[in-house]
Amino acid sequence: MERPAWAPRSIDITVPSVSRIYDYYLGGSHNFEVDREAARKAMEFMPGLPKIMQANRAFMRRAVRFAVAEGVTQFLDIGSGIPTFGNVHEVAQEASPGARVVYVDHDPVAVAHSGAVLKGNENAGIVAADLRRPQEILRSDAVRRLIDLNRPVALLLVAILHFVEDTDDPYGKVAELRDALAPGSLLVVTHASADHIPLPQKRTEGAVDVYKNIRNPLIMRARDDVARFFEGYDMVEPGLVPLRDWRPETAPEDEDPYAASGYAGVGRKA
């Protein structure tokens, strides 16, 4: 298999990665055949996966614009993935040119590509780190340089928490990050759930098994379990809802049924 010029030497291009699979669903070009193969396998069970990812990105953009409208212009996006059109820094800096954004990801391709995309953008940076080690993120050079933790921050955990197993204490990690943020900060979350997927349970389980087989278990959590991530936050209207229903810009009923899969919500730290 030939290694493309943009792929860091250190990565094993025979092992699929969730951020590169996500890139493939979104129509990106920073993925390998091994990622495309896993994605196609998951889509055999759940053909609407690309639609879910698009709904996820559309929510993220609405939430970023909401944050800026609320006067929050600092963004910490953990599990940011491979930049595609309409990323956080583009949306935030279009709405507020001085907005500051720090991306965090542990996938070397995501980190390398983010660095290339952000070249020359003094108000944005990338950190190679893992959500499971919050202090590493908070103490990173990019966070120290760009984020003032004494002022409100929008913390984005978009399509990442469902890759953190309960044994890794996701609730504890999210609480640790919350405790580092100033009052008025926002928590922006999307999370996979089997609750509204327009498919029989067996088909959903088939797609989940694909992720298990590539050693990136996908944890489908019920609404109450997702709501627990917002402890210490007041929910912003309309609360924790299916992806397409959070402050939609088009009539939700016009959306693909898959766009309701998964939950989205924004909370404000009291």
Give pLDDT < 70 ranges for the chain: 1
Secondary structure class of 169 (helix, strand, coil): coil
Q: Each residue of 87-101: pLDDT tens digit?
A: 999 999 999 999 999
pLDDT at site 1? 64
Look at residue 129 and give its three-state secondary structure.
coil
Q: What per-residue confidence (pLDDT) applies to 11? A: 78
Q: pTM higher than 0.85 for the full model?
A: yes
Point out which residues pair with 241 in neighbouring strands: 264
pLDDT tens digits for range 197-246: 999 999 999 999 999 999 889 999 999 999 999 999 999 999 999 999 99
- pLDDT score at 128: 97
Tokens representing residue 151 in the block: 């002022």
Domain ranges for the chain, please list them: 18-269
Structure-token pair, residue 223: 């609404």
Helix or strand holding residue 157 (H, E): strand 154-158
Cβ atoms < 10 Å from Cβ of 226: 22
pLDDT value at position 145?
A: 98
Distance between CA 53 and CA 55 in Å, rounded?
A: 5
Structure tokens at 31: 């993925």
Neighbouring residues of 13: CB distance < 8 A, sequence distance ≥ 6: 1, 3, 7, 32, 34
CA distance linking residue 86 with residue 92, whole number of Å: 10
18-269 CATH, one of 3.40.50.20, 3.40.50.150, 3.30.300.130, 3.40.50.1000: 3.40.50.150
d(CA 145, CA 222): 37
Q: Whole-angstrom Cα distance, residue 148 to residue 143?
A: 8
Per-residue confidence (pLDDT) for residue 253, from 0 to 100: 77
